[in-house]
Amino acid sequence: MLVRTIAGTVLGATLIGTGTYFFLDLYRWEWNRAIVAGIVFLAAEILAVWLLLNNRLSRVLAHAGGPSNRERQIRDRLRHNRSAGDSRAFAWLAETRQNAGVFVPILLGAGLVLSGLAWLVERVARATAGFADDPRIAARLSRLGPPEGGLLDDHVNPQRQLMGPSRR
């Protein structure tokens, strides 16, 4: 019950805080912040509706009566199957004569293969890195960048600043 109270308090504070910041950011014309606050508010609102519906449905189902015959059969079958098997989470790690510890050698082999692949990638990168000093590549790549003064370079034509844009 304490967990529900704490969760409800945090959810209510989240709804109030994000709702307040949503309208405050809209008032300040800070659209990106308003969008983020709105998304968090919407997520908190969806969570609140889900919690309320879940609480109501659990109350309705609790008053609907006990489990049916079919539910009891399934529950007994699940309980029987759980107790029949090994209760350890990683039963395949059990010490038996049949699986003679194959897991560790497989990991070592995979590590060896991955180390070899990393060595190969490093060698290929080292062999092809010498082409980065080629002046032709630098000349080709320089055409992709913006002009030296930027896109709005007014230093090239100083009369344009005084006269304004040309009217033709």
Residue 120 lies in domain: 103-130
What's the pLDDT tens digit per position in 125-142? 888 776 666 777 777 777
pLDDT score, position 165: 54
Report if residue 39 sits inside a domain.
no
Q: What is the residue whose two structure tokens read 């014309």?
A: 29
pLDDT score, position 76: 85
Report if residue 42 sits inside a domain.
no
pLDDT score, position 30: 86
Q: For residue 19, count other CB atoms closer than 10 A to its CB.
A: 16
Q: Higher model confidence: residue 127 or residue 62?
A: 127
Report if residue 126 sits inside a domain.
yes
Query: What pTM was computed for the model?
Result: 0.39
Q: What's the 3-state SS for 27-43?
A: HCCCHHHHHHHHHHHHH
Least confidently predicted of 12-16, 33-37, 68-72, 124-128: 68-72
Domain count, the chain: 1
Report if residue 147 sits inside a domain.
no
Q: For residue 17, count other CB atoms closer than 10 A to its CB.
A: 14
Report if residue 93 sits inside a domain.
no
pLDDT score, position 12: 92
Report if residue 117 sits inside a domain.
yes
